[in-house]
Amino acid sequence: MTHPVPARAAMRAMPAGAVTGRTTGDAAGNRFCQGLGTKYQASSAAWMYCAGPQPHGRSGRFAHAPSAGGPVAGTPANVNAATFAEDVSPSGARGYGQSETSIAASGPYVVEAWNDSTGFFSACPSAKEQFTGFGFSNNGGRSFTDLQGLPDNECSKDFFVSDPSVTAYKAGGRTFFYVSSMFDSLNGLGRSFVALDACRVSGSGSRATLDCGQPILTGSSTQCFRERIGRHRIIRFCSFLDKDYLTIDPAHGRLYTAFSEFPIFSPGSTIVASACDLGNPAGGPGPAGGTPAAPVCEHGTHLKAVSRHELVGKPYLTVQRRDPGNCEYEGAYPAADPVTGDVYVGYEHNWGTNTFGVGPCAREPTTNVMAKLPRHCLVLRHVSGCKGPAARVAVPVTSIDTAVLPGFLPSSLPNDFPRVAVSHRAGTVSMVWNDTRFHAAGDILLQSFGLRSLRPVQRAPVVLDTPHGGGLSLMPALRTATADGRLDVSWFSRASVSTSLTSVRAVLGVNPRATRPPASNITITSVPSNWDNDNSDILPNFGDYTDSALAATARKPYVGSVLYIAWTDGRTGVPQPFAAHLPAG
């Protein structure tokens, strides 16, 4: 049973090991990498780790093709969070493309992170070795300093593979940012992890800087297999962790991560969560001894030998067990309710595997799932006492994952991953996603559920991208509700099917209980991007998601009045991580 990958045969692979000494997962014989694209699909970062750089572009690798289309009046200022001068390896090799952005803010401080192609060509101990690039702003997002890669003193062993997530926390009068990523071995073998760096703002005003610590593990493989190669060499194959995302419960000083775990020898996946103690709002230690600058994270038990070859552990909390037919679960996204301390996790079921022409997944509906994790399950110990969520609900999805979109060059397929936000004021947890049931290139749909039982609030999902010109609507962003309980949602947009010019649009101030589409939406990008002319070493060139965040505050309701939006932008001819900010709806 195979899963064809559109257009990959036309790409020109460049072995990362030829430049950096790093061995890609494919070359090392990593079992997860060997099945990627044939047994299952995974993130853009997984493709980076497994396949190395994949240069591509309509106009050739070294072309510089600016976007077509003029400036759009009335849009917020658009700022590149990266710097082209920092996209060069120590040997002088330029990396083409930064994509898949995440953003967070508090007061005048903003952090954006992204998948950074320069890591393909940079060797440890260079800061550019990491696939996770990030930038810092001390002036409310008007400009950024490119900080290159996340700190990692042991980069010769493991490094940040990306799928970044950023979140902000105010405690003890100080501002903290947490940047997470997949975190895997340099040689392509061994255990797979999710890790974060805790970063603290030092100084103030125009002299403020961001100081980041060393990697802290928030997830780890729960299954490994040892195999002897020859007389003296024993190698370890482990389950693979993918597509991490963070959320913070500021009222209780907790940080939660959700991600997928892929087993070693069979397709399918599970959804797993972990918990970290960030300390108390005054900045002191929390129940597990964690502080804002040094979180203590619980992500499951250590591996124990169950046979001569197999080692097994337990995750902190399994949100979704593997599908009996091995239909994939992917795209986990958590949201916390700071009033109750409950956490909600959205994810997609049967993404990628729904394109197999035979087998149970061809008959299994594609859905987006919402799961509720009550606070009493989220204890600070190695393994939660709960066996799974207290409630779960699914909504049907008409998927875009079989599309080959103009200008969107895939290895990882387009996705329908949900984005989730809690509005305690409205009594809802809401999910947004792109869906093709009404237009072949997608709409942005909203479905809200009651916080207690997860009963749907609307009889049918509400379309947010109105009016619709028949073009693309893809990768919505949503993080938290505004102070008055409303939702701000942004997404990639095209005006028609006859263009590759891509903008970011948004709708502000949506009532989570709305039953009718909003009257209109607004444009965020000041210039559209012509993705037919972009060059990138990363597939897909868009990445897998966009992001948005309200500025974090230290007091209830823990969100400010400024909305920050982050996306991959191709206006320069090379994908870059852009940001904009505007008043929340």
Q: Write out pLDDT tens, residues 71-103.
A: 788 899 999 999 999 999 999 999 999 999 999
CATH number of the CATH domain containing 571: 2.130.10
Specify if 55 maps to a domain.
no
Contacts of 29 by beta carbon, 8 Å cutoff, 6+ apart: 188, 189, 235
Question: pLDDT digits over 146-162, tens only?
Answer: 999 999 999 989 999 99
The answer to the question of residue 103 being in a domain is: yes
Establish if 346 belongs to a structural domain.
Answer: yes
pLDDT digits (tens, 9 = 90+) for 314-351: 999 999 999 999 999 999 999 999 999 999 999 999 99
Please report whether residue 49 resides in a domain: no
With H, G, I as helix, E, B as strand and everything else as coil, classify residue 90. coil
Residue-wise burial string across 286-297, b where 16 or more C-beta atoms lie within 10 A, e elsewhere = bebebbbbebbb
Domain count, the chain: 1
Lowest average pLDDT, out of 3-17, 19-33, 230-244, 571-585, goes to: 3-17
Listed residue (414, 413, 416) closest to 395, CA to CA? 416
| Partners of 563 in the β-ladder | 550, 582
**Average pLDDT, integer, range 161-176:** 96
**C-beta of residue 201 within 8 angstroms of C-beta of residue 552:** no
From residue 53, give the alpha-carbon distance in Å to each of 124, 536, 567. 17, 9, 21
The 3 state secondary structure assigned to 338-371 is CCCCCEEEEEEECCCHHHCCCCHHHCCCCEEEEE
Mean pLDDT of the chain: 91
Establish if 369 belongs to a structural domain.
Answer: yes
State the residue range of the domain holding 244.
8-41+62-380+389-583
The pair of structure tokens assigned to 585 is: 């709806």
pTM for this predicted structure: 0.94
* 215, part of any domain: yes
Q: Has residue 485 been placed in a domain? A: yes
- Report the 3 state secondary structure along 103-115: EEEECCEEEEEEE
Q: Is the pLDDT of residue 253 over 70?
A: yes
| Three-class SS state of 375 | helix
**Neighbouring C-alpha atoms within 13 Å toward the C-beta of 53:** 29
- Does residue 52 sit within a domain? no
